[in-house]
Amino acid sequence: MHPDLRDTAGLGTLLWLIGYLASMALFFSPLSYSLGWIILVVFTPFTVWVTWWWFHPKGRLPLQYYAEVGAAWTLIAVVLDYLFIVLLFRATYYAPDVFLYYVLMFLIPVGVGWYLGRGSVPAG
């Protein structure tokens, strides 16, 4: 698989799938009324860590690359949420936590990319 495709579609889909499976598990718990906020609070630091772990060995990449990764992750989240939550479960899904999640799916790779690129020479 091409590295750009792994960074965007591969990792973006994997992160979405982890959150989706966790939300399905929480759906059947007494905490289901606030599962979106629980997932957001638990998985935001996890996503930041995974993103840093994934991109750190690659060296400094242009910030535009991270913005493209973030845009791809956001698109993946929106499309897969629509297909596997809204359509599949006929759910009224879009609440403030969901919109915050979409914003974070863009900002996390951009923030990690900015952090990794501070004060070093660009790769390539």
Q: What is the pLDDT of residues 33-80, one digit of tens each?
A: 898 999 999 999 999 999 999 999 998 899 999 999 999 999 999 999
Distance of alpha carbon 82 from its chain centroid, rounded? 15
Residue 72 has a pLDDT of: 98
Whether 107 and 83 have beta carbons less than 8 Å apart is answered as: no
The answer to whether residue 93 scores a pLDDT higher than 80 is: no
- 9-31 as b/e, with b when 16 or more CB fall inside 10 Å? bebbbebbeebbebbeebeeeee
Question: What average pLDDT does this structure show over 88-113?
Answer: 92
Going 26 to 27 to 33 to 36, the CA torsion angle's sign is positive
**pLDDT-derived band at 124, boundaries 50, 70, 90:** low
**pLDDT-derived band at 28, boundaries 50, 70, 90:** confident
For tokens 């400094």, name the residue. 60
Query: Which pTM was predicted?
Result: 0.91
Residue 32 has a pLDDT of: 85
